[in-house]
Amino acid sequence: MGRIKPSEELRDLVYKCTECGNCAIACKFLGNLEPLEIIMRLREKLVKAGFGPMPKQEEYIQSVKDFNNPYKEPHENRTDWLPKDIKIDSNAKVLYYIGCTSSYRRKEMAIAAARIMNEARIPFNILYDEEFCCGSPILRTGELDTFKQVLNRNLDVIESKEIETIVFSCAGCYDTFKVDYPLYRNYNFEVLHTVEFFDKLLENGKIKLTEKIPIKVTYHDPCHLGRNAERYEEWDGEEVHIMPLITMNIPPKPKRTGKRGIYDPPRNILKKIPGLKLVEMERIREYAYCCGAGGGVKSAFPEMALDTAKLRIEEAEDTGAEVIVSACPFCSTNLQDGINSRGSNLKYYDISELLLMAMGLEPEKLKHILSEVD
């Protein structure tokens, strides 16, 4: 580093970014400028210089090393979420990768996803005690060495099985497997988020929606599922000096513009739920406002994460919706914190929970939600 030496002050600024990627998709005007990658490289530099990650993030990285999850939860409790009546097929070609947050904190997401797959008669397997943290929270802090170890271990485990498709209900795990893993190591399976998977199942009639949910819902696009879920395209061109001071990428270098994020599948699902009305917020899809939890900000700067969530909740309230829905356990936690802190009347549900209710599999919950929004 040049003019400014690495310091705690610098660290505190650099780590306040949620790495939501909005800057990167809003600014593709100049040559090779990639603002999000600048932040990521800066974090890697701070780690190398001994100043990053933030102390709270170091704690959870250590927890991943010790417990295989960032929450210091015993590894043997990883499948505690799994209800007895869920059928798991150890020969299935579909793997459901639950992720740490859905396993320990947002179990309702894991349960809903598993029940939907059972009901649709999709055989699926899980990794039980061979499932570890995907590495996302580590990667985002710039701690590349540990991330690479985690990545290699995960891919070794998965490749030892005959898996064709991995389904994720966690947007963070999904993004990490889909976009980040291939930058370090290629693999030969398909990765899908549950919203993509369930959208297809609805399309081909494997999921049937029987219940009416007459409520107004707004959908929050998680950054990991939206603009950041766009793979880097390979480019082996070169920067050519075409005249003094002017260089050009030949052939043109593909840019990640955010438009290939997963935006329609969740909306398709919601629109198919009988009686449900989808009302959109002002900033959606690749221009969605971040919930505030990403990039390790929720643990390092909880106040800032909460303030951001409150802004997003205010935007959701403005739509007149009764319920805000998303598809990411981090957004879930932070937006619910935002709702509570604002004293908002909005209710939060994961999209798979709503789907489950519309399938008639959660009559009690459905009754509850209807009474709540009455």
**3 interacts with other proteins by CB under 8 A:** yes
Spell out, one character per residue from 193 to 232, where the chain touches other proteins: x when CB under 8 A holds, - when not: ----------------------------------------
User: Which of 160, 246, 371, 374 lies at the binding interface for other proteins (CB under 8 A)?
Assistant: 246
Alpha carbons 19 and 146: distance in angstroms, whole number: 19
Residue with structure tokens 């599999």?
361
Count the residues of the shown chain that bind other proteins, applying the rule CB under 8 A.
26
The total number of residues shown for the chain amounts to: 374
State which residue, 90 or 245, has the beta carbon closest to other proteins: 245
172: nearest Cα among 154, 193, 198:
193
Q: Which two structure tokens, joined as six digits, stand for 185?
A: 């190591």
Give the CA distances from residue 261 to residues 127, 136, 179, 232, in Å, rounded to whole numbers and listed in that order. 27, 18, 11, 12
State which residue, 10 or 313, has the beta carbon closest to other proteins: 10
256 three-state secondary structure: coil
Nearest-approach distance from CB 28 to other proteins, in angstroms: 4
User: Which of 76, 90, 236, 244 lies at the binding interface for other proteins (CB under 8 A)?
Assistant: 244
User: Which of 149, 257, 268, 340 lies at the binding interface for other proteins (CB under 8 A)?
Assistant: 257
**1 interacts with other proteins by CB under 8 A:** no
List helix spans (H) across 276-320: 297-300, 302-318
Contact 219, 325 (CB under 8 A): yes
Spell out, one character per residue from 6 to 45, where the chain touches other proteins: x when CB under 8 A holds, - when not: -x-xx--x-----------xxxxxxx--------------
Q: Which stretch binds other proteins (CB under 8 A): 38-46, 67-75, 244-252, 359-367?
A: 244-252
Alpha carbons 56 and 32: distance in angstroms, whole number: 33
What does residue 97 show for φ and ψ, rounded to 5 degrees? -95, 110
Which residues, at least 6 apart from 62, have a Cβ–Cβ distance to it below 8 Å?
none
**258 interacts with other proteins by CB under 8 A:** yes
Spell out, one character per residue from 274 to 313, where the chain touches other proteins: x when CB under 8 A holds, - when not: ------------x---------------------------
Contact 311, 289 (CB under 8 A): yes
Q: Tell me which residues touch other proteins (CB under 8 A).
A: 3-4, 7, 9-10, 13, 25-31, 242-249, 252, 257-259, 286
